[in-house]
Chain A
């Protein structure tokens, strides 16, 4: 992350000097600051909402029962999560929200999953393999039907906007498999 951030900033400054866009550069960092505040405020609402809802399923014990239910599916990939740990439920709920394209629920539930995984983390500030796996699957965007994209296509008069569904599912599945395989292989290399 350090390298990528440094590169983005350094390249941006160099290019704005070359292109004589110093003005735009300065404007853009304030723009970025503004977007960060806007997105955070938006996140504040939905994260608080979902943490409230998940607190109810935690205190009622539902989260452990659901974890037992979802365990057969999730534990094939996430081997180091104990029997009825809440992480199993939050990971499953995040995956379901992603699959059904519920972006507003996926991120808060993902944050909840990260917190649950962090409770199993002995290293504190070092990422665990389970966290990496969880994030990798999330960045592969496991979405079944891309409603936003289909909406835009049909707005602009596509005859058959649903034709993107099959290639999207194929591409998502293949890239998710690739990403997870890469992670498992890299675990062997970096160990």
Chain B
């Protein structure tokens, strides 16, 4: 575990050193070059901002209006019937929508059900194997001004749902082996 952590920590410093040293050796004016590249960052973020705003407003109001709680209740019966801890519903719904909110929900599940419970394990795997899809879509498409997304969003939504089912299935299976 610590080795893996160490390699991860090493990646960025080594990469930056390599990029700068290579540029310097090739007689690139690395400082001026860095600054001119960084300047483009401002334009990109200004382009992304309105998309982020739209997504964040929608997600926050969805949570605050009680629609999120209603969605949780909606799936409660199904989860009980399939013998899946009901705490998992919250993480399954919130993970594709918001990164910070899902981290909060996850911490809460670990706190209330214990760190080695089935609910915590399933939530942990969902946290690690699902992405904040709508944030990724907003940022990546917004950055280059794509408006016609064809069937991209539908494929993302279907994959999210299947991904969560896969995560639950795998943990249930591995847990039943013990």
- Bound together, the chains give a CA A46 to CA B19 distance in angstroms of 17
Is the CB–CB distance between A12 and B30 below 8 Å? no
Contacts of A77 in B (CB 8 A): none
* CB contact under 8 A between A139 and B60, given known A60-B23, A186-B151: no
Interface residues of B in 1-28 (CB under 8 A from A): 1, 4-5, 7-8, 11-12, 15-16, 19-20, 22-23, 26, 28
Residue of A nearest to B113 (CB): A156
Partner among A29, A110, A126 whose Cβ is within 8 Å of the Cβ of B60? A29
* CB contact under 8 A between A9 and B58, given known A36-B49, A53-B19: yes
Is the CB–CB distance between B155 and A28 below 8 Å? no
- Bound together, the chains give a CA A115 to CA B146 distance in angstroms of 11
Q: Range of interface residues on chain B?
A: 35 or more
Is the CB–CB distance between A171 and B129 below 8 Å? yes
Contacts of B40 in A (CB 8 A): 48, 51, 55
Listed stretches A14-22, A67-75, A78-86; interface member: A14-22
* Least CB distance, B27 to chain A, in whole angstroms: 9
Partner among A52, A96, A107 whose Cβ is within 8 Å of the Cβ of B11? A96
Contacts of A107 in B (CB 8 A): 139
Is the CB–CB distance between B159 and A175 below 8 Å? yes
Count the A-B residue pairs with Cβ separation under 8 angstroms: how many? 333
- Bound together, the chains give a CA A166 to CA B129 distance in angstroms of 11
Residue of A nearest to B120 (CB): A153
Contacts of A97 in B (CB 8 A): 11
Residue of B nearest to A107 (CB): B139
Is the CB–CB distance between B52 and A125 below 8 Å? no
* CB contact under 8 A between A168 and B146, given known A36-B56, A162-B1: no
Contacts of A153 in B (CB 8 A): 110, 115, 120, 124
* Least CB distance, B12 to chain A, in whole angstroms: 6
Is the CB–CB distance between A51 and B44 below 8 Å? yes
* CB contact under 8 A between A100 and B8, given known A33-B57, A135-B156, A167-B170: yes
Is the CB–CB distance between B33 and A167 below 8 Å? no
B140 interface residue (CB < 8 Å to A): yes
Partner among B22, B58, B64, B152 whose Cβ is within 8 Å of the Cβ of A135? B152
Contacts of B65 in A (CB 8 A): 11-16, 19, 21, 24-25, 28
Is the CB–CB distance between B170 and A39 below 8 Å? no
B91-133 vs A: 1/0 string, CB under 8 Å? Answer: 0000000001001001100110011100011001111111101
Partner among B48, B115, B150 whose Cβ is within 8 Å of the Cβ of A156? B115
A residues adjacent to B (C-beta < 8 A): 1, 4-5, 8-9, 11-16, 18-19, 21, 24-25, 27-29, 31-33, 35-36, 39-40, 43-44, 47-62, 93, 96-97, 100-102, 105, 107-108, 110-111, 114-115, 117-118, 121, 123, 125-127, 131-132, 134-136, 138-141, 143-150, 152-154, 156-164, 166-168, 170-172, 174-175, 178-179, 182-183, 186, 190
Q: Could you show 22 A-B contacts with beta carbons less than 8 Å apart?
A: A5-B55, A9-B61, A11-B62, A11-B67, A12-B65, A28-B61, A32-B60, A48-B41, A55-B40, A56-B19, A56-B23, A100-B7, A114-B143, A117-B144, A123-B148, A125-B146, A127-B149, A132-B150, A153-B124, A154-B115, A160-B116, A175-B159
